[in-house]
Amino acid sequence: MHPQRDITPPRPHSRLSIAKLLLAARKGCLLERGMNCLLKLLCGCLLVSCCSAQASVVLGGTRIIYPSNKPEVQIALKNKDLHTRYLVQSWVSYPNDAKAPFIITPPVYKLQENRQTLLHIIFTGDKKSLPADRESLFLANVKSVSALSPDLKDKNTLQFAMKTRLKLFWRPSALKEADALRAFEKITFRRQGDKLIAKNPTPFYVSFGELAVGGKSVPVVETKATPGAISMMVAPFSEQDFTLPGSAKGPVTWTTISDFGAQTPQREQAL
């Protein structure tokens, strides 16, 4: 015969044990809530830090017009932060991020606290390679990163590089500024199914500030390859389609952004 094993059944939890378990569970919940709060706080701090850094280095414009008969154009760059220096890198690209035939001087610059400088943009390509009867689009890129304070140099830190992109319009000298300022008046629209088709018969890029049908705003479509600011634009002598808002009826209204970054008066057209 096999020797009988002394099998002790599991003991039921006493009231004290259950209380301990409940207390531990409560502590676990409090710990989890604390971690969630900490994560939210950290995210909030990072967001505030990003917004603060983004607001510190500012450019003196929202777009750049480069007349083809000018040797260079300039744009102001200012550091509004009273206590932090920034390292700034600048370059010009095509909308697809390929390198464009421009140089910006200085390409890398240490922007001191509460100081400003001028970025000089110079075309280095062959002017004959660009259309002479219409504008060409490029992007000016400005990336800034704040300098580390001496107290943080030997510590683990998380830094963000803030990147700003401005539209740069190469404008042939034969095109007049006065005509550019009135180009928005010549845009026409038609409805095609669930699409709104905008036609631009001018040699200028037209960027919409507001675009609505029957008082409903046309949605901005933004992808990694195409920022919203570019998708809400019509190229020279071209058409651009936009998705109509659901059940939108009535006239189309629009404003555009002028050479000076201001919004034009509103226009209206029946569909």
| pLDDT tens figures, 115-137 | 999 999 999 999 999 999 999 99
Judge contact between 231 and 182, C-beta under 8 A: no
How would you class 159 by CB atoms within 10 Å of its CB: exposed for 0-12, middle for 13-18, buried for 19 or more? Answer: exposed
| pLDDT value of residue 246 | 83
Per cent of the chain over pLDDT 90 is 65
Q: Which of 60-74, 148-162, 188-202 has the lowest mean pLDDT?
A: 148-162
| pLDDT value of residue 141 | 96
pLDDT in tens, 135-185: 999 999 999 998 866 665 666 666 678 899 999 999 999 999 999 999 999
pLDDT in tens, 225-263: 777 889 999 999 999 999 998 888 999 999 999 999 999
Which pair of tokens denotes residue 65? 């017009």
pTM (two decimals): 0.77
Q: Using the predicted structure, report yes or no on whether residue 206 has a pLDDT greater than 60.
A: yes
Question: Which has the higher per-residue pLDDT, 40 or 156?
Answer: 156
Average pLDDT of the residues of the chain: 82
**What is the spatial distance between Cα 4 and Cα 135, in angstroms, rounded to a whole number?**
97
CB atoms within 10 A of CB 98: 7
How would you class 176 by CB atoms within 10 Å of its CB: exposed for 0-12, middle for 13-18, buried for 19 or more? Answer: exposed
Q: Which of 8-12, 51-55, 59-63, 256-260 has the lowest mean pLDDT?
A: 8-12
| pLDDT value of residue 221 | 86
* DSSP state letter for 199: E
Q: Using the predicted structure, report yes or no on whether residue 49 has a pLDDT greater than 90.
A: no
| pLDDT value of residue 118 | 96
Distances in Å between the Cα of 140 and the Cα atoms of 74, 78, 95, 170, 236 are 12, 16, 10, 12, 20
